[in-house]
Amino acid sequence: QKEVEQNSGPLSVPEGAIASLNCTYSDRGSQSFFWYRQYSGKSPELIMFIYSNGDKEDGRFTAQLNKASQYVSLLIRDSQPSDSATYLCAVLTGNQFYFGTGTSLTVIP
């Protein structure tokens, strides 16, 4: 079992809709959770991080963490074509980052 699991997609949503990306992790001791966006051939770009249970909002992005269910999600409101990318969930466990395989999102104009 991988440390971090993501649905690889592809996920397609129409422009203006809400995109929901999900991630589960296996180690209950994981302490920090990150969402990165990666365009093809480019480096991962941090969107946001979350440590505590609940929601964290930053502009059009909301991260949700449920430690009891070992689940972290990213909601993108008012999706734009420029949001089309692969979204990587990353989990910090001890001193190591573990990445999921990413979810490919396409926002259709």
Partner 1 sequence: AAGVIQSPRHLIKEKRETATLKCYPIPRHDTVYWYQQGPGQDPQFLISFYEKMQSDKGSIPDRFSAQQFSDYHSELNMSSLELGDSALYFCASSSPLSGTDTQYFGPGTRLTVL
Nearest CA-CA partner of 92 in 41, 39, 38, 46:
46
Residue 17 or 101 with smaller CB distance to partner 1:
101
Token pair 């573990």 in the structure block, residue: 98
Q: Are 84 and 66 in contact, with CB atoms under 8 Å apart?
A: no
Q: State yes or no: residue 32 binds partner 1 (CB under 8 A).
A: yes
Q: Are 32 and 53 in contact, with CB atoms under 8 Å apart?
A: no
- Out of 7, 49, 71, 106, point to the residue binding partner 1 (CB under 8 A): 49
Task: Provide the minimum distance between the beta carbon of 54 and partner 1 in the complex, in angstroms, as a whole number.
Answer: 17
Q: State yes or no: residue 57 binds partner 1 (CB under 8 A).
A: no
Residues that bind partner 1 (CB under 8 A): 32, 34, 36, 41-46, 49, 88, 90, 92, 95-102
